[in-house]
Amino acid sequence: MMMGGETTHRTPNASQETYIKYETVKGYFLQDDDKTDSSKFNFKTSNFGLINRSYETDSSLDPTQAKTQWQRFANHVELLNTKSAGNVQYKVLFMGRHGQGWHNVAETKYGTPAWDCYWSKLDGADGIVWDDAALTDVGKKQAEEVCEFWRTHLPEQGGGIPPPESYYVSPLTRAIQTAEITFGKLGIATFKPVVKELLREAIGVHTCDRRRPASYIREMFPSYTLEADFAEMDPLWTEDYREPRSARKVRMTELLDDIFANDENTFISFTSHSGAIGSLLEALSHRKFGLETGGAIPVLVKAEIVNGERKQPTIEPSETAPSCTVNPTQTASLASL
């Protein structure tokens, strides 16, 4: 975290003989507790899942001034960084899933088997366009609800949640729209979002996961910065190779390495996708935790530079779309009845 213009911790920067080991520090959020049911959990009614507890660092606070749970947590994380060894740092990642997109509507309409084997490879059908899917009105409302949650929980409103100091966004339209609706109207001075290529959803086959040209993003979202070397045309998407989960975990680990080595801020926002967030959680050794559209999850992360070479997982074959066992156009006709 930046305090008075100076950083309060050192940023690990792994060499070729070392790597960054990521660990979820448990005991701070309900979401990292195995007893918490993700299908029933609502972060907006549970203070983002922050557990009501005391910290050994509470004694460093002025006893004459009451502090919220989030303010005491932020103080605790700051002191963790201050007292940590030079090869260790802590960050709090707020990971938000985009609101409902038109691809979500289409998958529900046709059913997942027909969607995976046929419809997902089209740009759209039946008056619906899901190529680099945009948000539906429902998706926009979901993002607005998250915006209101942030608004009422920021320090100015007495909630004490530290606003993110850095904002990273997937290059897919629905994620950028979600970030803009969620944070753009809050007047947060640090809201200077950066579009990161690696933060996107599983790559390939599904047209909803093929991004638009860089020039389109610049024109439609001029306040967003594209990371260095961001290509004009999508360099990753292919029509015949669907990125498997093991490869997605490697990609998300590469993203984490980039951010932890180059961003000295402590509270960081990711606006992304269900698959991408699932792989981020896996890379952070967090338990599986599903997010509904518009959902979000915070994680306290310990990053430590260790000697040796990171063990890479075996990459499974491409998750190529399965063959249809039924006529997908017939399935669509039945679904409309």
Beta bridge partners of 7: 2
Residue 334 has pLDDT above 50, yes or no: no
Name which of 122, 134, 165 is nearest 266 in CA terms.
165
**Pairing, β 88-97 against β 267-272:** parallel
Residue 316 lies in a domain: yes
Q: CA 50 from chain center: how many Å?
A: 18
**Pairing, β 18-24 against β 296-307:** antiparallel
The whole-chain average pLDDT of the chain stands at 92
Residue 292 lies in a domain: yes
Check residue 312 and give its pLDDT: 83
Contact call for residues 135 and 271 (beta carbons, < 8 A): no
Residue 5 lies in a domain: no
Domain residue limits at 38: 10-335
Residue 79 lies in a domain: yes
Q: Could you read off the pLDDT of 46-88 as tens digits, one per residue?
A: 999 999 999 999 999 998 888 999 999 999 999 999 999 999 9
Residues annotated as part of the active site: 98, 201
Residue 149 lies in a domain: yes
At 204, which CATH number? Answer: 3.40.50.1240
Which secondary structure element, helix H or strand E, spans residue 260, and what is its range?
A: helix 245-262
Check residue 40 and give its pLDDT: 96
Give Dmax (Cα) for the chain: 70
* 2 band by pLDDT with thresholds 50, 70 and 90: very low
In whole angstroms, what is the distance from residue 274 CA to residue 257 CA? Answer: 20
DSSP conformation class of 5:
T
Q: Can you give the C-alpha Rg of the chain in angstroms?
A: 21
Domains contained in the chain, number: 1
Check residue 126 and give its pLDDT: 94
The region of weakest confidence among 9-13, 115-119, 126-130 is: 9-13
What is the rounded average pLDDT of the residues 137-144? 98
Check residue 15 and give its pLDDT: 62
Residues 6+ apart with CB under 8 A from 38: 31, 288, 289, 290, 291
In whole angstroms, what is the distance from residue 190 CA to residue 165 CA? Answer: 5
Residue 319 lies in a domain: yes
Check residue 318 and give its pLDDT: 75
Residue 218 has pLDDT above 50, yes or no: yes
- Residue in this structure with the two tokens 């753009």, named with its chain if needed: 184
Check residue 328 and give its pLDDT: 81
Residue 279: how many other CB atoms lie within 10 Å = 25
Q: Could you read off the pLDDT of 20-40 as tens digits, one per residue?
A: 999 999 999 999 999 999 999
3-class SS at 130?
coil
Residue 4 lies in a domain: no
Residue 337 has pLDDT above 60, yes or no: no
Name which of 92, 168, 105 is nearest 136 in CA terms.
105
What is the rounded average pLDDT of the residues 82-96? 97
What is the rounded average pLDDT of the residues 102-130? 95
* DSSP characters over 154-194: SGGGT--PPPPSEEEE-SSHHHHHHHHHHHTTTT-TT---E
Q: Could you read off the pLDDT of 271-293 as tens digits, one per residue?
A: 999 999 999 999 999 999 999 99
Check residue 64 and give its pLDDT: 86
Residue 255 lies in a domain: yes
